[in-house]
Amino acid sequence: MSKPDVKCRRLEGKVALVTAATAGIGLATAERLAQEGASVYICSRKQSNVDETVASLRSRGLQADGCACHVGSAEQRKQLVEACVRRYGGLDILVSNAAVNPGAGPLADTPPHVIDKILDINIKSAVLLVQEALPHLQKRPGASIVFISSVTAFNPPAPIAMYAISKTALLGLTKGLAAELGPQGIRVNCVAPGIVPTKFSAALVETPELAAQQAESTLLKRLGRPEEQAAAVAYLVSPDAAYVTGETLVVSGGMQSRL
């Protein structure tokens, strides 16, 4: 299916920082925000991937730049935010998309180092990135934060339950930050994608049989696409969602999504 023809320009004059944005949902999100008029700053762990993605976005007339960043590094998080603000003069939108899934298997058998890695990158780094960006977001009217969670957050499945539990934490982080930052006019929301064939869902769709089983679990009887998640993010950071905060928007084709 072809990509959507984006004609709306809801984000003119805005600056968006999107982490882990050289592939999958992160890349689709960066592209969509840029198509809607935002100046987009991206990151990934490898500079070569950033350079390639920036060149691709610019070749289509989109405003994009970026740098390498390991979100688990305090120094690199600081450098990321500073580079974005230095390049574009401010920051209006933060999309926290970076995550890891270093192991799959039963929760009861998950090694401590796998638990530590998941919690460090998927939760701790998300909080600390917000702390780094907040002084700049506070200067911009209508600033917005979006976390990328997962529909698996609502019912963590084997064999990626530990990863899914870290995504459950993002639902609470969204609520907590929304309550704190709402009086400052900063909105905080979350997108919970369904099963989208990316590296993070590889264990769930690694065979045609598994992919078909996952598609059957949706009401629409198909897997999701990165562009559909990006459209949800674009809505949440746009003026159209000016009265929406503390919410998790599930984009899963109708999969079960209740805690």
Catalytic annotation, residues: 163
According to DSSP, the β-strands at 144-148 and 39-44 are: unpaired
* Token code pair at residue 222: 């198909």
Nearest residue to 78 via CA among 132, 145, 21, 153: 132
Please, where are the H alpha helices in the chain? 24-35, 47-59, 74-88, 112-119, 125-137, 161-181, 208-216, 226-237
- Tokens 């917000």 correspond to 130
In a 13 Å sphere around the CA of 186, the CA atoms on its Cβ side amount to: 26
CA dihedral 191, 195, 199, 200 (to 10 degrees): 60
Phi, psi dihedral angles at 188 (to 5 degrees): -130, 120
Nearest residue to 119 via CA among 134, 130, 132, 103: 103
